[in-house]
Amino acid sequence: MTLPITPDDVVEASRALRGIAVRTPHISVPALNEAAGATVIVKAENMQRTGSFKFRGAYHHAASLPDDARQRGIIGASSGNHAQALALAGRLLDAPTMVVIPSDAPRAKVEGAVALGADIVVYDRRFGDRDGLVADLAEQHGLTIIPSANSPLVMAGAGTAAMELIADHPEITTLVVPVGGGGLAAGTAVIAKDLRPGIRVVGVEPRSAADTLASLRAGHRVSLAEVPSTVADGLGHTTPSELPWQVNSLLLDDVVTVADHDITAAMGYAFQHLKCVAEPSGAVALAAVLAHRLDLAGQTVGVVVSGGGVDLRMFHDLTSSFRTRNGTPAHA
């Protein structure tokens, strides 16, 4: 089966993003190694432009468009991070930008997209046809759709984060990444397997939004019965995106799940020990490591903290409620 992206696509994306995307830092501390029972290196994509890895793919796709298409404008759907990434890409490339956002999207992310100049269209994720709305608006206004995951250019851009991590730390034996639509996992798997044959790539989903895990078990894409309810709003998908699924179904070595309380614990741990602010969706890979959802003994593990789009009040509420509920500090 021919995959929708190749390692060369990720390398080309890296060239296109040079000087545009931030080469985000890698964090490793003894406390995390001890807690995980392994050597852990965190890729801090919460420090990427607009606060998440999404900028890599959004910019790469937008920059690859012909001039006339960029001048007409771009559109995409998002719960927040892709919206902000598209808005900044549009600003940098002088492309008018429209984003379709669910009514329950985090306010800080919506405000971030607006501040960067995007036009916002709101829909109800429980009843609305998001993709149909995007298609109608694109046709009406002559806009080019840039999906949050279902695009070879977006997947290749996302994979550049793992490319940087492996270049600096070729000793990594396992890579752990969040899975929502699947674009980050797909780009990561393609480049990681090429650069480090034998490396293990593991995806992580919220337990209540495990559409990729369910699809892997079924052997084909399946849809969850209802829109998932999870603290990780950016990973609340009902079915894997088609093109990332083609990659992930072949190249992911495993997918594990974490509960919401594992996610909020990881957020608190990252703040306490890594001095790193992670949003719930961005913390799921770290949550899997800290909750020992994987056998990592003696390994060197790369973990992608994929985003930090959380406002102060939400961060406080989530991490405080974990401590109160459990009666122990989040990092215990």
Q: Which two tokens stand for residue 223?
A: 């849809």
DSSP string, 27-53: E--HHHHHHHTSEEEEEEGGGSGGGBT
Whose structure tokens read 């070595």?
Answer: 253
- ∠ CA 11-16-19, nearest 5°, is 115
Task: State how far the Cα of 323 lies from the Cα of 332, in Å rounded to an integer.
Answer: 10
Distant-in-sequence, close-in-space partners of 116: CB < 8 Å, separation ≥ 6: 50, 84, 87, 88, 90, 91, 97
Q: Which of 52, 151, 249, 306 is the catalytic position?
A: 306
Q: Which of 43, 54, 109, 193 is the catalytic position?
A: 54
Count CB neighbours of 40 within 10 A. Answer: 27
What backbone phi and psi angles, to 5 degrees, belong to 97?
-130, 135
Dmax (CA) for the chain in angstroms is 58
The one-letter code for the residue type at 68 is D
Element (H, E) at 325: helix 312-326
Whose structure tokens read 């799921």?
Answer: 284
For 110, 112, 225, the CA distances from 277, given in Å and listed in that order, are 19, 17, 32
- ∠ CA 269-271-275, nearest 5°, is 125
Query: Counting Cβ atoms within 10 Å, is residue 198 exposed (0-12), middle (13-18) or buried (19+)?
Result: exposed
Query: Counting Cβ atoms within 10 Å, is residue 296 exposed (0-12), middle (13-18) or buried (19+)?
Result: buried
- How many CA atoms are closer than 13 Å to the CA of 68, on its beta-carbon side? 1
Has 306 been annotated as catalytic? yes
> How is residue 220 annotated by DSSP?
S
Has 54 been annotated as catalytic? yes
Q: Would you please indicate which residues are annotated as catalytic (active-site) residues? A: 54, 306
